[in-house]
Amino acid sequence: MRRESGGHDRTSGGPGAASVESVLDELYATPPSEFVSRREEHAAAARTAGRKEDARRVHAARRPTLAAWAANLLRRSRPEETGRFLELGRALREAHRTLDAVGLRELSDQRRRIVSALSRQAARLAGEAGHPLSEAARREVEATLRAVLADPDAADRWAGGHLTVSLTPPSAFPPDGAPAEPTPRESPSPPETPRATPVDRTKDELAERRRRRQEELDRAEQAAERTARLLRDARAERADADASLLRAKEEHDRARAELSAAEHQLRQAREGLDRAERGRRDAEERGRTAADALTRAERAAREAARQVDRSASRVRRCGPSD
């Protein structure tokens, strides 16, 4: 199945492929105002889990316009009705291909009713979700539905539920359901064509001018919506960047505070080391002084002992006193 930018097929395979598809399904069911923040949360979670390719695919998802989101919402919320709508599109294209005028008229009547009903449902669903559609957005939803009927590629893209912009029906598909060329009649001579009056020609010219002006208005509104979407994306990206910068500054301030505390502790440790070093030197000096005093005391004691021995020897030599 083909998808437009912002969607992916399931053929990539590999671990986590199904989870990426479920994430994309969730994202394209998320209102556009919340799309970027949810996308970045999922991408960050995938990066944290080490799934770089999944994170890349999620981050590459583009935010839908409000009209495209409403069309996606309609597809997801009304699967049976939209499934029948896709079948109607296939039948219309086949009738147009075979120039079945009767069948095409009948199917075209259904087309007008169903497109109107489904566009109203999309508007109601969007309003219930808190994001009402403007008149221009409702026309974009109708244009998308007409494109789904006329173009099989557009039908595939809408069926996937990952539209990012509204679709435009091809100009080759007749808006009123008539075949592109009339079915030839078996008649010996063609009926006389009534001559157009000046009033008819004037009406036709006015209708043509109104049609061209409406097309120009539609194109201008679509361009304005795309510009607004780009502006919203840019603002959202700027908000994400500002938030990242704020987090980085907070991390920097915390790191600076931790460094300052560590430096203070280091200074205190060095001061304690210096005090301990001075105490050690003082103790060593006291030890040396005490050792010198002990050595002197020991010499004095030995000298005193020798003196006592000499005195005792002299006494013994003199004998006992008379």
- Is residue 96 in some structural domain? yes
- 3-state SS string for 187-226: CCCCCCCCCCCHHHHHHHHHHHHHHHHHHHHHHHHHHHHH
The sign of the CA dihedral 248, 249, 254, 259 is positive
Which of 29-43, 160-174, 208-222 reaches the highest mean pLDDT? 29-43
Distance CA 272, CA 18 (A): 61
Helix 66-77 crosses helix 101-128 at what angle (to 10 degrees)? 100
Averaged over 169-173, what is the pLDDT? 68
pLDDT category of residue 108 using cuts at 50, 70 and 90: low
- Is residue 278 in some structural domain? no
- Is residue 136 in some structural domain? yes
Per-residue pLDDT tens digits for 267-282: 999 998 989 899 899 8
pLDDT at 188 (0 to 100): 38
Are 82 and 141 in contact by the 8 Å Cβ rule? The answer is no
DSSP output for 292-320: HHHHHHHHHHHHHHHHHHHHHHHHHHH-S
The encoded tokens of residue 187 equal 């008649």
pLDDT category of residue 320 using cuts at 50, 70 and 90: low
- Is residue 128 in some structural domain? yes
DSSP 51: -
Distance CA 20, CA 25 (A): 9
- Is residue 298 in some structural domain? no
262 backbone dihedrals φ, ψ, rounded to 5°: -65, -40
Q: Which residue has the tokens 């495209």?
A: 68
Q: Is residue 181 scored above 50 in pLDDT?
A: no
- Is residue 6 in some structural domain? no
- 3-state SS string for 102-135: HHHHHHHHHHHHHHHHHHHHHHHHHHHCCCCCCH
How much of the chain exceeds pLDDT 70, in percent? 78
| CA-to-CA separations, 106 to 62, 91, 118, 149, 155, in angstroms, rounded | 39, 11, 18, 14, 21
Strands (E), the chain: none
Per-residue pLDDT tens digits for 125-140: 999 999 999 999 999 9
Q: Is residue 23 scored above 50 in pLDDT?
A: yes
pLDDT category of residue 240 using cuts at 50, 70 and 90: confident
Of 14-28, 35-49, 166-180, 230-244, the poorest mean pLDDT is in 166-180
Are 74 and 82 in contact by the 8 Å Cβ rule? The answer is yes
Q: Is residue 241 scored above 70 in pLDDT?
A: yes
Q: Which residue has the tokens 């020609």?
A: 201
Q: Which residue has the tokens 């003199």?
A: 318
Q: Is residue 5 scored above 50 in pLDDT?
A: no
pLDDT at 173 (0 to 100): 53
- Is residue 315 in some structural domain? no
Distance CA 121, CA 63 (A): 22
- Is residue 92 in some structural domain? yes
Averaged over 110-118, what is the pLDDT? 85
Range of the domain at 112: 64-160
Q: 175: which residues sit within 8 A by CB, 6+ positions away?
A: 146
pLDDT: which is higher, 210 or 139: 139
Domain tally for the chain? 1
Phi-psi region of 37 (alpha: psi -120 to 50; beta: other; left: phi over 0): alpha
Q: Is residue 183 scored above 50 in pLDDT?
A: no
In degrees, rounded to 5, the angle at the alpha carbon of residue 260 between the alpha carbons of residues 255 and 261 is 100
Distance CA 116, CA 114 (A): 5
Averaged over 154-162, what is the pLDDT? 93
Q: Is residue 243 scored above 90 in pLDDT?
A: no
pLDDT at 319 (0 to 100): 66
The sign of the CA dihedral 35, 38, 40, 42 is negative
As a residue count, the chain comes to: 322
Q: 142: which residues sit within 8 A by CB, 6+ positions away?
A: 115, 116, 119
Per-residue pLDDT tens digits for 45-87: 999 999 999 999 999 999 999 999 999 999 999 999 999 999 9
